[in-house]
Every structure is written in structure tokens, then in C-alpha cells.
Amino acid sequence: MHAQGERRWPTAVLVRLEELEREITAQAEATREQIAQLTTRLDELGRAAEEVRITRKTLLELPDPQPPAPPAPELPDHPAYQQIMAVLATADAPLRRGRYARRWTWRSRPTTSTTPA
């Protein structure tokens, strides 16, 4: 006979309750796995957002970029030019134009007057 307070339920009810318990347990485990995956994804997104914030902050702290330098002028490739540049590069002091080092051109040449004054 049965112990006091214990009652016999039909086997079909007990079997159905065991099935429900297994189903609920399986659903709970699947939900835990989904939560773990979503937590991992949330952490990844949080790290990515932090990296973007740091990058933005760093860029805002950089000085304004300077305009690009103009291209260097093309220099003559003549040997005389190269010799002149070599002399200037090895000079100990700045080179100055001498008093009589004036460059004469057609317009700056003195004119000789052929008409009597």
C-alpha cells in the first residue's frame, strides 16, 4: 500500500509531465546559449564602438593639416649649373656681388654719343 500522503497519479499524466520538463529544460538551455552568443556579440560591438570613439578623439586632437608644399622647381641639368651649385654648397661664407659685378645688358650699356654737345 501507499505511504500516507502519497497518491498515485495515472502513468500518462506523469509521463506527460516528464516530457514537458525535458522540453522546458531544452528550451532553457537553448536560451542560455543564445544569451551567451548575444553577450559575446554585445561585448564585440562595445569594443568596436570604443575603438571608434578613441580614433575620433585622436583625430580631433591632431593639428590641422598643412597645405601641401608646392612642387620643387625643375632645376637645369646643365653641367655649368651643377658646378655653380657645387661652389655655392662648399662656400664658407655667403657670397656677395662685388661692386663691379654688374651684369651688362643691351639696355644697361652706356651709350656713346656721336653728336657734339
Listed by start position, the domains of the chain span 10-58
Predicted pLDDT of residue 9:
80
Q: How many residues does the chain have?
A: 117
- Whether 81 and 75 have beta carbons less than 8 Å apart is answered as yes
- Within 10 Å of residue 29's Cβ, how many Cβ atoms? 10
Per-state percent for the chain, helix, strand, coil, to nearest 5: 55, 0, 45
- Alpha-carbon distance values, 62 to 51, 57, 68, 81, 117 (Å): 17, 9, 17, 42, 75
Q: What is the chain's pLDDT, residue by residue, as a tens digit (117 residues)? A: 455 555 788 899 999 999 999 999 999 999 999 999 999 999 999 999 999 999 999 999 999 888 888 888 887 788 888 888 888 788 777 666 665 555 555 555 555 555 555
